[in-house]
């Protein structure tokens, strides 16, 4: 499937104001690779959005999240039990190419969100529930969304508390979602937290919305975080732009993430054992 065919498929199936029937993935989608025990979706951003909008938990694990697979039982469970994991980590993709000689398509959280927000049915208030990290982030993100033609308001946003490590529970958020019943829930929280929260919600909600763990992606667009141009995202340079914007904050984080190299060399497609087990 070439780019023009993908764009035509995307417009006909997802961007139709009143899509008919269930969205289906094209037959050209190739086999999903299993990396560190996690089955990753291998397809285009358009195809990933189509699948994500049909419901379930979508995780977007970066390298700093993946290195917790052998340390955090809750994070490990959230990634393994997700309905779709997309290939956000450029380092993971490069290592897989070196180790296995296989090309897999990268779909970053930024590209995934940008494509999802094009869907006409998600533009109105009430169509999406946002879980934001605080009021300042909410205000900046809403300003950008509204300037982009989306009619989302503060009533569509839930301000998350500081969640502890380990299992997450949030009965207030659960009740809020049950009362509103949005078809899509977007978690704009930090990696390592949002996946655990997403699994909690998926397992306890009485219906099956799409739950999308996109993290800081909305902040890259709104300016709540350093802006990352799409060209830089496509070249796997988002991490570098973040490090340059705030070295003391991001350099240690991404330096630790290089532990992913050793994990992939050792375990490849196998799930790393939990430390101490």
pLDDT bracket for residue 275 (50, 70, 90) = confident
Residue 90's pLDDT is what? 87
**Distances from the Cα of 166 to the Cα of 195, 197, 200, angstroms:** 12, 10, 12
Rounded-to-integer distance, Cα 218 and Cα 167, Å: 25
Cβ contact 55:44 at 8 Å? no
Q: Is the per-residue pLDDT at 13 higher than 50?
A: no
The alpha helices in 81-159, defined as continuous H runs, are 90-100, 109-116, 135-147
In a domain, 231, yes or no: yes
> What is residue 20's predicted lDDT score, i.e. its pLDDT?
44
Q: Output the 3-class SS for 233-255.
A: HHCCCHHHHHHHHCHHHHHHHHH
Tell me which DSSP letter residue 144 carries.
Answer: H
- Does some domain include residue 4? no
Over residues 45-56, the pLDDT tens digits come to: 999 999 999 999
Confidence band, pLDDT 50/70/90 cuts, at residue 258:
confident
Asked if residue 76 is part of any domain, the answer here is yes
pLDDT over threshold 80, residue 21: no
CB atoms within 10 A of CB 191: 22
Is residue 1 included in any domain, yes or no?
no
Q: Are 246 and 239 in contact (CB under 8 A)?
A: no
- In contact, 264 and 36? CB cutoff 8 Å: yes
Sign of torsion, CA 222 223 229 235? Answer: negative
* pTM score of the predicted model: 0.81
* Position 192 in a domain: yes
Helix (H, G, I), strand (E, B) or coil at 159: strand
Nearest residue to 205 via CA among 56, 22, 36? 56
pLDDT, one tens digit per residue, over 82-135 is 999 999 888 899 889 999 999 999 998 889 999 999 999 999 999 999 999 999
Contact in structure between 60 and 109 (CB atoms under 8 Å): yes
Domain tally for the chain? Answer: 1
What is the reported pLDDT for 26?
A: 43
Answer yes or no: is 9 within a domain.
Answer: no
Asked if residue 108 lies in contact with residue 216, where contact means CB atoms within 8 angstroms, the answer is: no
Give the model confidence (pLDDT) of 176-193 as tens digits.
Answer: 999 999 999 999 998 789
Domain coverage including residue 260: 33-267
Residues in the chain: 277
Provide the pairing of β-strand 128-132 with 184-187.
parallel
Split at pLDDT 50, 70, 90, the class of 23 is very low
Q: What is the pLDDT of residue 2?
A: 42
11 occurs within a structural domain: no
- State the average pLDDT over residues 129-155: 94
Confidence label for 30 from pLDDT (cuts 50, 70 and 90): very low
Tell me the backbone φ, ψ of residue 39, rounded to 5 degrees.
Answer: -75, 120
């Amino acid at each position: 499937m070439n780019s023009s065919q993908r764009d035509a498929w995307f417009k006909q199936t997802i961007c139709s104001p009143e899509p008919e029937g269930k969205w289906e993935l094209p037959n050209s989608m190739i086999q999903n690779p299993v990396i560190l025990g996690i089955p990753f979706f291998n397809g285009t951003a358009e195809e990933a959005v189509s699948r994500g909008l049909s419901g379930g938990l979508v995780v977007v694990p970066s390298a700093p999240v993946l290195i917790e697979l052998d340390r955090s039982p809750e994070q490990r469970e959230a990634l393994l039990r997700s309905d779709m994991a997309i290939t956000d980590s450029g380092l993971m993709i490069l290592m897989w190419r070196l180790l296995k000689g296989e090309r897999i398509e990268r779909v970053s959280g930024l590209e995934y969100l940008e494509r999802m927000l094009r869907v006409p049915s998600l533009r109105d208030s009430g169509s999406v529930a946002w879980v934001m990290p605080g009021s300042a982030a909410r205000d900046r993100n809403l300003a950008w969304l509204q300037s982009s033609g989306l009619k989302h308001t503060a009533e569509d946003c839930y301000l998350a508390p500081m969640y502890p490590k380990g299992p997450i529970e949030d009965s207030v958020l659960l009740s809020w979602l049950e009362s509103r019943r949005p078809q899509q829930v977007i978690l704009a929280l930090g990696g390592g937290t949002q996946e655990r929260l997403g699994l909690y919600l998926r397992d306890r909600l009485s219906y099956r919305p799409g739950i999308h763990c996109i993290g800081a992606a909305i902040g890259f667009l709104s300016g709540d975080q350093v802006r990352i141009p799409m060209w830089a995202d496509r070249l796997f340079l988002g991490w570098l732009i973040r490090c340059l914007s705030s070295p003391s904050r991001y350099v240690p984080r991404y330096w630790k993430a290089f532990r992913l190299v050793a994990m992939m060399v050792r375990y490849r497609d196998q799930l790393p054992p939990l430390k101490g087990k």
